[in-house]
Structure 1
């Protein structure tokens, strides 16, 4: 990960999964809120989606681990050099461990979708564990580095920890759209901040890296971090609007009699909720 590509790869993974999880939780919310949107998929369909999601996560984790191990200058599965009496590329092993725990999350996602006796909360628990492990690794990742390098990674650790906390809350607050979107916002922020770290420490243009001792750079990145977070909510809002538009478009094609019947069902559900 000690390169621009090394930061862009996990950043891309988290952005892709953040967008996917945002769409997924919004669609599930719409299906729960309006029974007439059940055409989007039954529980069986969502189980299949979770299996595909788990396979995708495992694939991303394997790509990340192989990239960290077998990149030029990587450890190549060697942890300790007995001839020289030193550890081999421990930073690479840090990143490999991070990817490994996300791979375990993908495996648990598949198991919870195929073995109905397993509670789905186990998948959330493994996800939160993967994020907490990632936060722990990056917290111990920057010893002896310059102040700006430490600062950008401290912000990353904070985002990862908050994402893990939100994922942990989902175990107890099931089907809560607010908590789910909070978690996806931190996942998106984590992904975009990985890219920002790459631009700061390893400019892809080949130009000089930022002055790692300049306090003004820290001041700017503080503002930049807030802009990143604001942009994640713009993405979430756009995705929410897209799903609502898709639902309304589909409902406009529903026959009038069916629409009237479904509206009556919704009114009854609303009156029950008010009671």
Structure 2
């Protein structure tokens, strides 16, 4: 039914957009205080009987809960349940797009499980495991989306093609983060793409299933297809402005209303370094032997 398909686009998009907004706030704070992205500083909360609650991976728990709820929703929306194959001869696969949605939501649940295992169950957090699982999830998501549009035409094809573009760029950025997980530039781009993916999914629900005018978009009208791309460009400008606005407001808030805030580096961090250290400082650290050789050439009477 159209209502089920609308919710299947709108609520996942709302979740992704909320996640992007939250990550924008986190990254803005990290940039303002020159903090680590992987091991953010936080006030000391390791005392008292509720100390363990502060260490729970709430992001992982939220992913598990959201994935499980959306998985159950897909199953409930079908009157006869998630039937894989029909009983006719020869048997045929049933509900191909619903099974793809189910696979996507199961991946989100597994992603949350990995976050909880890495941050709460392993002796030491494994960032590589978290990032690798996230990258693998988007590789699978891209494959599912490419096959998802095989029978699409017109407006639906254009909507999903633009979504595939966002997922492809996000996959590239997440892959690059495997080698640079603490780089602010990549995290900003990643967050922007999550905002784009979320807002465009919500827009897709309205375009395909609940148009604002009350009349369906026309596949044979070229102006409708062109305006799909125009709306997408508006999303780019709005989300970029949203990121800039959150950073500007955060900077204003912390510097004007919290001037005495002093963050302490998290003890879990194996190191804490500025992401943009000058090259000459790095050279000074990795080549101390050259200074020693020069000192040996000086006369002993030299000051």
TM-score, normalised with respect to structure 1: 0.82
Distance 1:42 1:137 in 2: 43
Query: Corresponding residue for 1:265?
Result: none
Q: Distance in 2 between matches of 1:42 and 1:180?
A: 26
Separation in structure 1 between the aligned mates of residue 84 and residue 110 of structure 2, nearest angstrom = 21
Deviation string for 1:176-210 (max 9, x for gaps)? Answer: 11110100111110111111211211125582210
Residues 153 and 219, structure 2, Cα contact 8 Å, conserved in 1: yes
Mapped partners of 1:238, 1:33: distance in 2: 20
How far apart in 2 are the matches of 1:129 and 1:15? 21
Q: What are the Cα deviations for residues 95-145 of structure 1, in whole angstroms up to 9, with x where unaligned? A: 010111121111111122122435212111111221221121111112222
Comparing both structures, which one devotes a greater share of its residues to helix?
A: 1
Do 1:79 and 1:89's aligned partners in 2 also have CA atoms closer than 8 Å? yes
1-side partners of 2:24 and 2:219: how far apart? 35
User: How far apart in 1 are the matches of 2:73 and 2:197?
Assistant: 20
Which of 227, 231, 244 in structure 2 is aligned with 1:224? 231
Give the aligned partner of residue 78 of structure 1: 83
- For residue 127 of structure 1, what is the aligned residue in structure 2? 134
- In structure 2, the gaps of 5 or more residues are 263-273, 282-303
The equivalent position to 2:20 in structure 1, one of 11, 18, 21, is 18
CA distance 1:43–1:208, shift in 2 (3 Å): same
Q: Which structure has the higher relative contact order (CA within 8 Å, separation 6+)? A: 2
Q: CA deviation at 1:52?
A: 0.4
Distance verdict in 2 for CA 1:187–1:214, change over 3 Å: same
The equivalent of 1:108 in structure 2 is 114
Q: Rate the CA distance shift 1:18–1:153 in 2: closer, same or farther, 3 A.
A: same
Q: Which has the larger radius of gyration?
A: 2
Runs of 4+ in 1 over 6 A off after TM superposition: 42-45
Write the mapping of 1:166-177 to structure 2, written as runs, cut at 5 A. 166-177=173-184
Q: Distance in 2 between matches of 1:199 and 1:137?
A: 22
Structure 1 residues 42 and 246 mapped into 2: Cα distance closer, same or farther (>3 Å)? Answer: farther
Distance of aligned partners of 1:158 and 1:177 in 2 relative to their CA distance in 1, 3 Å threshold: same
**Structure 1 residue 43 displacement after superposition:** 11
Residue 261 of structure 1 corresponds to which residue in structure 2?
none
- Report the CA distance shift for 1:132/1:39 in structure 2 as closer, same or farther (over 3 A): closer
Report SS of the residue matched to 2:81.
coil
Relative to the length of structure 2, the TM-score reads 0.75
Q: CA deviation at 1:240?
A: 1.1
Between the aligned partners of 2:54 and 2:137, the Cα distance in structure 1 is 23
User: Are the counterparts in 2 of residues 31 and 40 from structure 1 also a CA contact under 8 Å?
Assistant: no
- Following superposition, the deviation at residue 30 of structure 1 comes to 3.4
Confirm whether residue 157 of structure 1 aligns to residue 164 of structure 2. Answer: yes
CA–CA separation in structure 2 for the residues paired with 1:133 and 1:200: 25
Match of 1:9 in 2: 11
Distance 1:227 1:49, change over 3 A: farther
Q: Alignment RMSD, CA only?
A: 2.9
2:206–2:212 CA contact under 8 A, matched in 1: no
1:138 to 135, 139, 145: 145
Q: More deviation in 233-242 or 80-89? A: 80-89
Q: Which runs of 5+ in 1 are unaligned?
A: 259-268
CA contact (8 A) 2:155 2:228 kept: no
Q: 84, 93, 102: which is aligned to 1:87?
A: 93
Between the two proteins, the alignment pairs up a number of residues equal to 255
